[in-house]
């Protein structure tokens, strides 16, 4: 494959700013992966690993002004948003360092021999080990938190795996800077720079997923791109785990009682959530079921007023802008679809937010209106007006898997009256995170967080946010009747490292 220049582009003007790098050739991808593979042993010591993650966070925070400036020039997301995202990224690195120190993720289980059991139990000792080199495909909409030093990279490094990142073309300059900062942090602890590789270019991404030394991959992006890589990962002579976040509609159900009780507040909340970040969040509410009649009308009016007062914004690149404009125009042309606030082109480089409405009956069976059940990236949502509970169930039954699903309940329904519990049960099979009386935008980095869902939201049952994201990059191994002197220190009876473990059936903390 021929190398091509990699340019930093200003999304506010669509003009190239500067050449950042060149696309990696197949030979260069091979060299980067092999360097990562050679760095595996330097992550074996958990103390060093945790210190490396904390140093990476400290160095990223110290470089905040430069990083945010470059990120804003390449993404137009704004200094306030980017500063917050960088802080989240640093917090995430430190949180994984704490997880590495604690050691519970190793899942140590020790069973001593028992000749009285049927069948007899030998000496068995089980824990989890790193998979190997992890390929990470950066996302466009989170240039810090889902990119070079984002959640996939942080969790993979925490698990003891070196990483090779395929940069996103929307922020190549930032990718180079962040990689340099993290490599400097690695050098602080005697870890070679190869522990974090970086490649640019579409073909490089294809070569990366096919490389025999790549043991797993993480992806955040479109259904089309993610599915192609997922299929490639499965088609390898030795298939590998592929943890992809591909797309999500994030449905919301507003009960009639909730609409009667607080139509204005729900409309305002929906407007803020669907336009946040110019609608470029993977958890943007893209389909909202609202009752017909006066209660629903009040909600739609509130939404109309709020969205009408929202300024046009810049999307991450002009390709996304073109797709957004074409996508909303195609949807608006469908029969019985109305546009109380028409989404589409703003200025020459911006888009204006808006929303569409459609009767629930139009989504009852397969047809042209199925387009409304597909994610449209940008500041738009589809309000589905329903007449009764059967129509709500009918629409929900036609939805694919999602990252989130939300229900807006009245005060009484939230206290257990009416169908609140039933709706929650109907939403649970559709999503990895189910919200009550909130909005899905904003994914907290917390131990109990789950950012994933049934396909096509994700290609696995794992999460890409929160402490349990580390589990994606580990595999269990058990030793049977191994002499104590040959066992990994983590599996010895003495528990010199003070690890949480299950010892002869009893949980030790």
Alpha helix locations (H) across 338-460?
389-396, 411-414, 420-427
Using DSSP's 3-state secondary structure scheme, residue 256 falls into helix
Residues near 167 by beta carbon (within 8 Å), at least 6 away in sequence = 138, 147, 148, 175, 176, 198, 199, 200
Handedness of CA 403, 409, 414, 420 (dihedral sign): negative
Active site annotation includes 330: no
E-strand stretches of 320-370:
338-341, 344-345, 351-352, 354-359
* 85 annotated active-site: no
Strand order in the sheet with 431-436: 338-341, 354-359, 380-386, 287-291, 251-254, 402-408, 431-436
User: 476: part of which helix (H) or strand (E)?
Assistant: strand 474-480
**Any idea how long the chain is?**
509
Report the C-alpha gap between 501 and 476 in whole angstroms: 14
CA 443, 318, 29, 64 dihedral sign is negative
In 3-state terms, what secondary structure has residue 309? Answer: coil
252 touches 289 (CB < 8 A): yes
Which residue among the candidates 85, 176, 207, 282 is catalytic per the annotation? Answer: 282
What is the rounded distance in angstroms from the CA atom of residue 228 to the CA atom of residue 177? 29
Which residues, including other chains, have CB under 8 Å from residue 91's CB and lie 6 or more apart? Answer: 57, 445
Sign (positive or negative) of CA dihedral 85, 86, 87, 88 = positive
351 Rama sector, left if φ>0, alpha if ψ -120 to 50, beta otherwise = beta
Contact indicator for 171, 200 with CB cutoff of 8 Å:
no
127 contacts 476 by C-beta, under 8 angstroms: yes
Strands 354-359 and 380-386, bridge-based pairing: parallel
Q: Is 274 within 8 Å of 355 (Cβ atoms)?
A: yes
List the catalytic residue out of 23, 176, 207, 245.
245
Residues labelled catalytic: 245, 282
């Amino acid at each position: 494959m021929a190398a091509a220049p990699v340019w930093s582009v200003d999304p506010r003007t669509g003009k190239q700013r500067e050449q950042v790098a060149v696309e990696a050739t197949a030979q260069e991808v091979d060299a980067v992966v092999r360097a990562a593979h050679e760095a595996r042993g330097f992550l074996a010591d958990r103390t060093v690993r945790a210190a490396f993650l904390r140093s990476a966070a400290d160095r990223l925070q110290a470089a905040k002004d430069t990083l945010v400036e470059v990120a804003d020039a390449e993404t137009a997301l704004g200094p306030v948003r980017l500063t917050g995202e960088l802080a989240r990224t640093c917090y995430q690195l430190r949180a994984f360092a704490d997880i590495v120190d604690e050691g519970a993720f190793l899942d140590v289980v020790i069973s001593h021999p028992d000749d009285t059991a049927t069948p007899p139990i030998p000496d068995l000792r089980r824990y989890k080990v790193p998979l190997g080199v992890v390929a990470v495909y950066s996302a466009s909409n989170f240039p810090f938190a889902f990119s070079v030093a984002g959640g996939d990279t942080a969790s993979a490094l925490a698990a003891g795996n070196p990483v090779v990142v395929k940069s996103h073309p929307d922020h190549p300059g930032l990718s180079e800077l962040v990689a340099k900062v993290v490599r400097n942090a690695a050098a602080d602890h005697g870890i070679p720079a190869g522990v974090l590789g970086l490649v640019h270019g579409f073909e490089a991404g294809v070569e990366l997923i096919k490389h025999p030394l790549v043991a797993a991959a993480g992806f955040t992006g479109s259904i089309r791109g993610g599915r192609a890589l997922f299929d490639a990962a499965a088609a390898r002579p030795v298939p590998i785990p592929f943890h992809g976040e591909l797309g999500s509609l994030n449905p919301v159900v507003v009960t009639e009682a909730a609409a009667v009780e607080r139509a204005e507040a729900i409309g305002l909340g929906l407007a803020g959530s669907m336009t946040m970040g110019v609608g470029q969040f993977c958890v943007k509410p893209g389909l909202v079921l609202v009752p017909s009649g006066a209660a629903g009308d009040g909600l739609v009016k509130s939404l109309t007023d709020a969205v009408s007062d929202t300024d046009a914004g810049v999307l991450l690149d002009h390709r996304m802008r073109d797709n957004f404009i074409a996508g909303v125009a195609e949807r608006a042309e469908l029969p019985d679809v109305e546009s109380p606030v028409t989404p589409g082109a703003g200025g020459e480089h911006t888009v204006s937010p808006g929303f569409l409405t459609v009767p629930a009956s139009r989504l009852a069976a397969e047809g042209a209106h199925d387009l409304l059940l597909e994610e449209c990236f940008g500041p738009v949502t589809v309000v589905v007006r329903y007449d009764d509970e059967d129509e709500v169930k009918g629409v929900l039954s036609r939805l694919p898997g999602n990252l989130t699903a939300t229900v807006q309940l009245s005060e009484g329904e939230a206290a257990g009256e009416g169908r609140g519990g039933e709706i929650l049960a109907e939403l649970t099979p559709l999503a990895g995170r189910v919200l009550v009386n909130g909005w899905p935008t904003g994914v907290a980095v917390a131990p109990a967080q789950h950012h994933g869902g049934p396909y096509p939201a994700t290609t696995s049952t794992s999460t890409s946010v929160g402490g349990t994201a580390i589990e994606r990059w580990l595999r269990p191994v058990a030793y049977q009747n191994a002499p104590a002197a040959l066992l990994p220190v983590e599996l010895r009876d003495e528990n010199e490292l003070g690890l949480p473990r299950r010892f002869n059936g009893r949980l030790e903390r």
